[in-house]
């Protein structure tokens, strides 16, 4: 660690994640001449979320290039992001990485990954770019306090966990979500307020026998509804060892983050397994044309895997020995209701593949959305998930990090 007399920097970034790196690089690359820029990361490893994102492949962004449409994928921050996305969007991110030798590919659902399918490719690009630009990086270094020294020409004085002091005129907070009490304490000490952090992008725990032994089965398009909270979503649905996951579940958890937190993640979930199918018409045809076939012997719908179909028939109280011709009208109604309105009692949540996104953060009315500078303290900037902005799964949260990081970094560069 350098001596205190040397610890005077043009820019200090707190947080060695996607937003922090992009902010530091934008400031370095767009500045006239070399600048002293420092990234502080409290953990031993840099870019932790980049490492685990997309199952270790890194979902860099989403192939959606119209800012207003892109912004609709953010339960919190939709309107606020339209302006920033007009100045740095998914195409800009693609071009930035490709200009540094990293080519991205688009999958059928719009998610974009490096062609290597390795998150390390993105990590190496960012770390190597920082090295080229002369950005200093200190890991295992936590900021314990921040003072805004007005009498020292509005400099920020940072006390570090090792006892050293760092001075800077420009400070970028890119600490990730605000679930850490230490992060919230630093933000509040600077005079800013925050929306409380609650989890977003989580899966649903459903105990009991209704989905037991069906882990790994999926339906390409299902509709979910939580009637008591007026929440709904649709998309691919995956059965897991503990309940339900997949894009439909994750979207519902994101849009309903606060409401679901409010009921302690205990609620009745309604599932329509076939929202785009005339279920009753198909069952009537089976009764008329395949009367001798057992109801449970094969799935009546190509969209529903056989083992799931057997379970849904069982949940409808239809015996395994019953044929379509023997099916009574009340039994048919029960089967239709199960297919269109299965009810599952959710009792708790689980992380989505170690990924963790929070709803909450610095109140957006306290930040300039053009520069990401604090409206309260000159020289203080915010980027990424520390803001009260969060998106659904699919690369949207990383794009928020790239966008806000870049805009903050270029605004700092102009100030420098």
Distance between CA atoms of residues 361 and 10, nearest Å: 26
Give the model's pLDDT for residue 235. 95
pLDDT along the chain (416 residues), means of 10: 64 98 98 93 95 93 98 97 98 98 97 98 98 97 92 84 93 91 94 94 94 96 98 97 95 96 98 96 92 94 97 96 95 97 96 73 98 97 97 95 98 94
* Residue 214 in tokens: 């069906």
pTM > 0.85: yes or no: yes
pLDDT of residue 351: 76
* Cβ–Cβ under 8 Å, residues 164 and 120: no
Q: Where are the alpha helices (DSSP H) in 88-145?
A: 90-98, 119-133
pLDDT at 3: 39
Cα separation, 247 vs 258, in Å, equals: 18
> Which two structure tokens, joined as six digits, stand for 182?
């230490």
On the CB side of 17, CA atoms within 13 Å amount to: 30
User: Residue 160 and residue 147: Cα distance in Å, rounded?
Assistant: 12
Which residue reads 């020409």 in tokens? 153
pLDDT at 356: 67
Rounded to whole angstroms, how far apart are CA atoms 212 and 91? 43
B/e letters for 154-179, b = 16+ CB within 10 Å, e = fewer, are ebbebebeeebebbbbbbbbbbbbbb
Going from the N-terminus, what domains does the chain have, and what CATH number goes with each? 4-198+354-415 (3.50.50.60), 202-351 (no CATH)
pLDDT score at 353? 56
What SS3 class is residue 164? coil
Inter-residue contact 217 to 233 (CB < 8 Å)? no
Concatenating the DSSP letter of every residue in 219-246 gives EEEEEEEEGGGTEEEEEEEEE-SSEEES
- Residues 6 or more apart in contact with residue 167 via CB below 8 angstroms: 7, 8, 9, 149, 152, 155, 156, 157, 158
Chain Cα centroid distance, residue 234: 17
Give me the pLDDT at residue 1, please: 40
Task: Give the other-Cβ count within 10 Å of 118's Cβ.
Answer: 14
């Amino acid at each position: 660690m350098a001596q205190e007399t040397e610890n005077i920097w043009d820019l200090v970034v707190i947080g060695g994640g996607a937003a922090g790196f992009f902010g530091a690089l934008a400031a370095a690359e767009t500045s006239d001449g070399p600048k002293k820029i420092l990234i502080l990361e409290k953990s031993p490893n840099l870019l932790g979320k980049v490492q685990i994102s997309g199952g270790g492949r890194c979902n860099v962004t989403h192939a959606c290039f119209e800012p207003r449409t892109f912004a609709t994928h953010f339960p919190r921050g939709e309107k606020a992001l339209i302006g920033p996305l007009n100045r740095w969007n998914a195409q800009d991110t693609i071009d930035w990485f490709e200009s540094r030798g990293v080519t991205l590919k688009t999958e059928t659902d719009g998610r974009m990954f490096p062609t290597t399918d390795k998150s390390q490719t993105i990590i190496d690009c960012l770390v190597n770019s920082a090295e080229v630009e002369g950005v200093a990086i200190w890991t295992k270094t936590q900021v314990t306090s921040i003072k805004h020294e007005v009498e020292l020409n509005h400099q920020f004085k940072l006390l570090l966990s090792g006892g050293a002091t760092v001075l800077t005129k420009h400070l970028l907070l890119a600490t990730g979500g605000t679930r850490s009490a230490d992060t919230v304490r630093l933000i509040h000490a600077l005079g800013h307020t925050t929306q409380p952090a609650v989890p977003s992008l989580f899966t649903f725990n459903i105990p009991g026998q209704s989905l037991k032994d069906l882990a790994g089965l999926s339906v390409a398009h299902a509709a979910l509804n939580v009637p008591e909270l007026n929440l709904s979503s649709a998309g691919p649905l995956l059965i897991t060892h503990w309940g339900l996951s997949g894009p439909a579940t994750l979207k519902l958890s994101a849009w309903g983050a606060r409401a679901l937190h409010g009921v302690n993640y205990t609620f009745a979930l309604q599932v329509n397994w076939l929202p785009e199918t005339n279920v009753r018409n198909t069952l009537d045809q089976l009764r008329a044309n395949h009367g001798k076939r057992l109801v449970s012997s094969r799935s009546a719908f190509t969209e529903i895997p056989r083992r799931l179909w057997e379970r849904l028939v069982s949940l409808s109280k239809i015996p395994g020995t019953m044929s379509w011709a023997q099916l009574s009208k009340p039994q048919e109604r029960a089967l239709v209701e199960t297919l269109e309105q299965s009810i599952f009692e959710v009792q708790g949540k689980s992380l989505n593949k170690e990924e963790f996104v929070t709803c909450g953060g610095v109140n957006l009315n306290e930040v300039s959305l053009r520069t990401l500078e604090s409206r309260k303290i000159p020289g203080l900037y915010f980027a990424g998930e520390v803001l009260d902005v969060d998106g659904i799964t699919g690369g949207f949260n990383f794009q928020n990090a790239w966008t806000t990081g870049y805009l903050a970094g270029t605004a700092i560069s102009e100030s420098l």
